Structure 1
Amino acid sequence: MKNLFDFTAPPDNEITLCEVDGRVHSMNIEFANLNIFTNVVDGYPSIHITRESLHPIRTGEDAKELFIPVDVPFTKHLVQIFYEQGYMEALNVAANNQQFILSKVAQGVLQMIDMINKVRLFWGSTDLQSTVSIMSTVSQTRNWPNGIFRCIAWHFDQTKLAVGTSDDVVRIYSKGTNLVPILRCRQQRNISMVSWRPLCDSEIAVACETCIIVWTIDPNSVVTRPSVSNAIILTENNHAPIVSIGWNQHGNILASAAANDQKILMWDVEMTRSTAIKRPGGRGNMFLKWSLRGDKMFSATNSVVFRVWETFKWQSEKWNTLSGRVQTACWSPCGQIILFATTEESVIYALSFSQTELIFTKDTNTSPNIAIPLFDVTEVDLDGIVVGGLIQSMDWDPTGNHLAVLFRDSNYVTIFTITFLPAVQINASCLVAGAPEETPCMIAFQKNFKQGACLSIGWSSGRLQYFPIVYSDTSASNVIRSIANTY
């Protein structure tokens, strides 16, 4: 199995700009100019979101500053904390109080709750974890709770992208215009994912802690702050926190997964009605991904169990990881191969389905029964830089030629090339480096890039970079794309 020693360390004190005809170009950040090498992203929106430009998040604590504090009896103060902040905060206050008996009782209760938490977490339960902790653990974005970026999504047919930020705002950027619509409302809290509706110019779904908001943005409007009247809010009891969503290829079904709900919901958005699909294997669902052709869907639970669904009759095939849960996965353009990585192993695995009709067969001799380890991404030292480790997210470009990998701890985005003949293989391509003080937070390939592939990278500084991979010989590129789509 190949490993990261096949990569070449990027030059010191330089940022990686692009790859043109197989050659990687980088420059010192002070003089960096992508147009020296290629102009394929001219006109793309320049995105650099600073913390100062984020909208302030209002909390209940802001109103308390308007009142003069007064002395109240401790029991009354404890009751107020219970109603305002919950029983856990009330127990913590009581445990730290100087009243001996009350303090000892509260400490004993807290110890008992802590032991129960450990037992339930051992069996894969997330019921007693905080929402922010769950969403941070599951998110495809690195440093989700404290970073500037939360999520990103490219439109399928237009050069337009949506960027979710930590102030619970979604900003829409488009090529050739400075108009940036801002999507924001009171129900939009703790954004986890955004997804454009296929076959539609102006609809986008935003997954939040307790609901899904499907916004309609008029492309001809000059209004930069659409009203919530232009949105459909989808909610379901006990379906929270919502951590993953995805549209099928026709855009008539929106699937959603919640960390504390065994059910995956299929939404009819216009009717605000949902249908549940449910299979045992975990106490919640952490990730889902439709194949590009819509005939299959991948879903991962918060345990070792994950499933591959056939979407015509909604039958599923159950799989187990060796350890940990599936953290991220991506489909090939043809929908016959899925790559995935777990939370415990630094390995990229592949499941290959050569014939669609054999995926869900009961004959174990013809059904695939093992995931193939393709690439060892264990942390290595390349000339003084550390690369690799556990994977945060992966994205496969629409042509099928490139795979981008974001690690939990590495400061570099890793790009691989994919070959399909005689079998699928992952090969080392290049490492993308940012400025010395930057770390990568999220990645996504553009959906409609014609000159090769274009990877967008969100850095911890709030800078969003376009990294084009350009082929001058478009005929060769089309041949490779044809092989990827028909394999």
Structure 2
Amino acid sequence: MWTCERWPCVKGRCQSGCWSRDGSRLLFSVEGESVIYALTFTATPGFSSSSSVSGPQAATVVADLSETTFSTQDGDIIVGGEIQCLAWDPKGERLAVLLKGDPQAADRPAMIAVFKTRTSPVFELLPCGFVQGEPGAEPRLIQFHPNFQHGALLTVCWSSGKITHVPFYFLSADVPHFGLNGSPALPRPQERPADFTNQSLFSEMLS
């Protein structure tokens, strides 16, 4: 049964939101803000998860994407700021965040920030990289393909009218990666959880 709850501590309207694959966690952003909030929903003991779910008492800030300056070959650019859209891939391993940027400033482009995510045994966000279009093209809409078998496939609609598909191949998918000459590339080292411990943007505490 649907219920209605309000969180008056959050200022402004909800700008964008996305659910985890198991429906236990909602990530959302608020209009005019640069942070990602999370609401965690847990099943009531003694009941099935579909019949009784308790709502969260508060929204938790899991990422602050305030403006940060990066040095590039073409000069400094400022990335971050207001969040326009969130998209979480169906496998729960990649989160794409569309950052609004400033169309009037060349050094503040709209950009897509990508994070590695995991929800078990705890929820974690790990910075992964950025997706940027051709010069002058800004991302308008983002969405993950619901049935990509080899990882996550992000579809991006650009202000230029173009649509691109950005694949993220997971090591667990056992996809062969080929070099420039068509031969299989050398095996890549396995990513160990310990490698990301110090890079985690957010890590949920076990109770």
**What TM-score, normalized by structure 2, do the two folds share?**
0.70
2:99 is aligned with 1:407 = yes
Give, as a single letter, the amino acid of the residue that structure 2 aligns with 1:418: T
Query: Which segments of 5 or more consecutive residues in structure 2 lack a partner in the other structure?
Result: 44-48, 102-108, 176-207
Counterpart-to-counterpart distance in 2, 1:353 and 1:315 = 13
Counterpart residue identity of residue 27, structure 2: L
Instruction: Give 2:37's aligned amino acid.
Output: Y
Alpha-carbon distance, 1:317 to partner: 2.4
Any stretches of 5+ residues in structure 1 without a counterpart? 1-311, 360-366, 477-487
Distance 2:5 2:116 in 1: 29
Name the structure 1 match of 2:119: 420
Listed one character per residue, the Cα deviations across residues 5-24 of structure 1 (whole Å, up to 9, x for unaligned) are: xxxxxxxxxxxxxxxxxxxx
Q: Which amino acid aligns with 1:438?
A: A
* Rg larger in structure: 1
**Identity of matched residues, %:** 36
Question: Structure 1 residue aligned with 2:62, among 352, 357, 374?
Answer: 374
Equivalent residues in 2 for 1:42-441, closer than 5 Å: 312=1, 314-355=2-43, 356=49, 357-359=52-54, 368-383=56-71, 384-409=76-101, 410-441=109-140
Distance across 2 between alignment mates of 1:472 and 1:423: 20
Q: How far is the alpha carbon of 1:358 from its aligned partner?
A: 4.0
Letter in 1 for 2:34: S
Mapping of residues 15-34 of structure 1, within 5 Å = none
Cα shift at 1:424? 1.0
Which SS does the other structure have where 2:36 is aligned? strand
- CA displacement, residues 201-256 of structure 1 (integer Å, 9 cap, x when unaligned): xxxxxxxxxxxxxxxxxxxxxxxxxxxxxxxxxxxxxxxxxxxxxxxxxxxxxxxx
Give the counterpart letter for 2:99 in structure 1: F
Separation in 2, partners of 1:368, 1:458? 34
Aligned to 1:44: none
- What is the number of equivalent residue pairs in this alignment? 157
Q: What do the CA deviations read for 1:249-282 (whole angstroms, capped 9, x no partner)?
A: xxxxxxxxxxxxxxxxxxxxxxxxxxxxxxxxxx
Residue among 440, 452, 455 paired with 2:151: 452
Q: Distance in 2 between matches of 1:373 and 1:441?
A: 25
Question: What is the Cα deviation at residue 397 of structure 1?
Answer: 0.5
**In 2, are the aligned partners of 1:438 and 1:461 still within 8 Å (CA)?**
yes
- Residue in structure 2 matching 1:464, options 163, 166, 174: 163
Q: Letter of the aligned partner of 1:351 in structure 2?
A: L
Q: Check whether the contact 1:323–1:344 (CA below 8 A) recurs between aligned residues.
A: no
Higher relative strand content: 2
Cα 1:434–1:317 shift into 2, 3 Å: same
Q: For 1:432-474, what per-residue CA distance to the aligned partner results, in whole angstroms no more than 9, with x for missing partners?
A: 1111121111111111110100001111111111000013542
SS of the residue corresponding to residue 375 of structure 1 reads: strand
| Matches of 1:429 and 1:346, distance apart in 2 | 18
How far apart are the structure 2 equivalents of 1:371 and 1:353? 11
1:349 CA displacement:
0.6
Runs of 4+ in 1 over 3 A off after TM superposition: none
How far residue 335 of structure 1 moved from its aligned partner, in angstroms, is 0.3
Contact 2:32–2:83 (8 Å) recurs in 1? no
Spell out, residue by residue over 1:124-146, the C-alpha distance to the aligned partner (whole angstroms, 9 max, x if none).
xxxxxxxxxxxxxxxxxxxxxxx
TM-score normalized by the length of structure 1: 0.31
Counterpart residue identity of residue 424, structure 1: F
CA deviation after TM superposition for structure 1 residue 322, in Å: 2.5
Partner SS for 2:128 = strand
The alpha carbon displacement at 1:408 in A equals: 1.6
Structure 1 CA distance for aligned equivalents of residues 78 and 16 of structure 2: 22
Q: What corresponds to 2:187 in structure 1?
A: none
- Report the equivalent of 1:301: none
Matched letter for residue 373 of structure 1 = V
Letter matched to residue 122 of structure 2? A
